[in-house]
Structure 1
Amino acid sequence: MTSVQTLPVVRLTTPEFFGSVLSPWPAIAVFDCDGTLWGGDAGYGFMVWSLESGLVSRNASDWIDSRYRLYLSGDVSEEAMCGEMVQVYAGLREDELRKATAEYFHTQIEPQIFPEMRELVAQLRAAGTEIWAVSSTNNWLIEEGVRDFGISPERVLAARVRVKAGSITSELLDVPTDKGKALSLARVGVTAPDVVFGNSIHDAAMLSIAKRAYPVNATPALLQIAAEKGWPVFYPQSTLGN
């Protein structure tokens, strides 16, 4: 019986992480959001919250619930599911949804922001680094969330649909996940960012285009890739337990 070899992974302490990221100082930095800048899955959490609060119709609620069950069973792809989690809000006024995402983020997600990542972004911004946020979560929620980090909406690449006359449509414009994250960055001219941060296997393609890649709060699947590629990993203190 052949044993499986587990490759070693370099785990950085907080001082080591900051030192590695900031020297040499990066001109362009790219961050995933859910699980990287803050804990948890804000996209899924907001979907559940919005369904339970009655923000969307019963028909839409039943539809997205059935689709999510198929996603969990592997019958709906990651890209399709992320797109449908934005399309479910078709017909709503955008200002109404922005108000809802702001309420959800500041009550449910803001307490889960990793202090180390907030400080890192602050230091990068102070030095003039161009910072991008890339996420498969809806753009309204991500734009609200990264506002606290000083990242402008123009530097957010997230799952989005077309908005016409203030109303949300079901016409998908972008769903940045897996290889789509790197493609979305390429469309705005970012093809070789200095540093990239992500937490899951869906960030692997984006991490691969970086001059320096940093898995943060890495899932087991991403940890294996990090070991194979020699990427150092960092775990915020709040993810380590006692």
Structure 2
Amino acid sequence: MMLVVNKIKKALFIGGFSFLFTFSFAQTYRPIHGWTDQVNQKLESFLNSTLIIKERKVAVFDCDGTLFGQSPYYLADEAIYAFAKENYAKKVDNLSKAKMAIIDAMLHGDNVGVNYVKNRIAFLAGLTPDAVNAIGKNCFYEKYRPKFYPEMRELLANLQHYGFEIWVLSASPELLYQQFVKENLGIPEERILGVKSVVSHGRVTNQLVCPIPQDGGKAEAIQTFIKARPLLVGGNSRGDLEMMNESVGIKLIVNPDDEKIEKGIHAGDMDGYTVKQYWEAHDALTVYCHDADDTKSTYITKEWGIPPNKSHPKIKH
């Protein structure tokens, strides 16, 4: 009789342990506050489905407008314009004139094309990598620190808990963003990718390293530098189209615009759609984060006549 009792106790112990293990395992996902139950359910189901994957699990995110706010102005632009005003504006030496000529081209050209990306790097050429890091970091802590979306922080924490490698892929200068993104999101510097340029003799040059992560170049950057098909990709604009289509799992679109109809060669497959319409037709997961105008800070970008980015105040959807 005692033998039978011991066997029952042992079975109950093992069964109880298995139940606790299964229960705790099933509760791994932490719901993201501010997103709908439907979104959370889809993310939880997706993440639980990745538990059996033994290979690298990669998630890739755009930066501006995806991880933190871009209203009223892009951080990369504000950082560069503020540095230009402080160091080169109204000066008559050759270096200052050359740098302000680049600024003039940025102010009066297309701010989404490859030439604009090249001009940003040309402006920073001649500085040390540490100096470029400091320009981005100082601008971030002065004007952008509150703009990191809390929902995206929670999503990143969930992904890390499920064993994902998290990568950031931006069309902004890599050295300008690496330091403050690393400090605030805990992502290793080598996984924070942007527009790269050759560093020679301790100075940044204007020699770009291809692929340039702009539009289709973002997909090429995933294939070239990350070297894995991501299971989740997050973006917010037309510029993230090709990158998001690299995902073999979740395509996450943040604050998608539903006013501007993308047209022409630059629109690619999004031609004739708004960003929101396109991704609704292609089964992306749509989420919303608060990105409102900052009325407290003074922006050099505004002073120099650049129209503000559209704001996306958080509303119920």
- Is 1:219 aligned to residue 257 of structure 2? yes
Q: Distance in 2 between matches of 1:61 and 1:224?
A: 40
State the percentage of identical aligned residues: 27
State the Cα distance separating 1:119 from its structure 2 match. 1.6
Helix, strand or coil for the counterpart of 1:70? Answer: coil
Matched, 1:57 2:96: yes
CA contact (8 A) 1:21 1:195 kept: no
1:135 matched to 2:157: no
**RMSD of Structure 2 on Structure 1 (CA):** 2.2
> Relative contact order, CA 8 A, sep 6+: which one is greater?
1
The code of the aligned residue for 1:52 comes to K
- Following the alignment from structure 1 to structure 2, what is the Cα–Cα distance between the partners of residues 13 and 132? 22
Work out the CA distance in 1 between the residues paired with 2:215 and 2:226: 18
Q: 1:82 to 1:19 in 2, by over 3 A?
A: farther
After TM superposition, the score normalised by the length of structure 2 is: 0.66
CA separation in 1, counterparts of 2:275 and 2:228?
21
Q: Which runs of 5+ in 1 are unaligned?
A: 1-11
Q: How does 1:135-174 map to 2 (within 5 A)?
A: 135-147=170-182, 148-174=184-210
Return the letter of the residue paired with 1:214. L
Give the equivalent residue in structure 2 for 1:186.
223
Indicate the residue corresponding to 2:285 in structure 1. 232
Q: Distance in 1 between matches of 2:41 and 2:77?
A: 33
SS at match of 2:87: coil
TM-score calculated relative to the size of structure 1: 0.85
> Which amino acid letter does the alignment assign opposite residue 201 of structure 1?
R
> Which of residues 158, 161, 165 in structure 2 aligns to 1:126?
161
1:131 and 1:155 in contact (8 A); partners too: yes
* CA–CA separation in structure 2 for the residues paired with 1:53 and 1:18: 46
Assess if the C-alpha contact under 8 Å between 2:289 and 2:314 holds in 1. Answer: no
* Inter-partner Cα distance in structure 1 for 2:86 and 2:161: 39
CA–CA separation in structure 1 for the residues paired with 2:46 and 2:290: 24
Deviations 1:136-180 (A, max 9, x none): 001123212321111111112201211112111111114201110
Note the 1:18-29 alignment, pairs <5 A. Answer: 18-25=40-47, 27-29=57-59
The CA deviation at 1:226 is 0.7
Aligned pair count? 227
Shift in Å at residue 129 of structure 1? 0.7
Partner of residue 3, structure 1: none
1:42 has 2:92 as partner: no
8 Å contact from structure 2 (residues 137, 177) kept in 1: no
Which letter maps to 2:96?
Answer: S
Structure 1 distance, partners of 2:46, 2:285, is 16
- AA partner of residue 31 (structure 1): F
Cα distance in 1 between the residues matched to 2:149 and 2:42: 18
Q: Please name the residue that 1:66 is paired with.
A: 105
Q: Shift of the alpha carbon at 1:97?
A: 1.9
SS at match of 1:151: coil
| Alignment partner, residue 32 of structure 1 | 62
CA contact (8 A) 1:95 1:166 kept: no
SS in 2 for 1:121: helix
Which of 81, 84, 92 aligns to 2:119? It is 84
CA displacement 1:57-104 (0-9 Å, x = unmatched): 3421232322441215xxxx6122112212211111222222222111
* Residue equivalent to 2:306: none
Cα distance change of structure 1 residues 21 and 46 upon mapping to structure 2, 3 Å threshold: farther
1:17 and 2:44 correspond: no
Gaps of 5+ in 2: 1-33, 51-56, 89-94, 259-273, 292-311
Question: Cα gap change, 1:66/1:152 in structure 2, threshold over 3 Å: closer, same or farther?
Answer: same
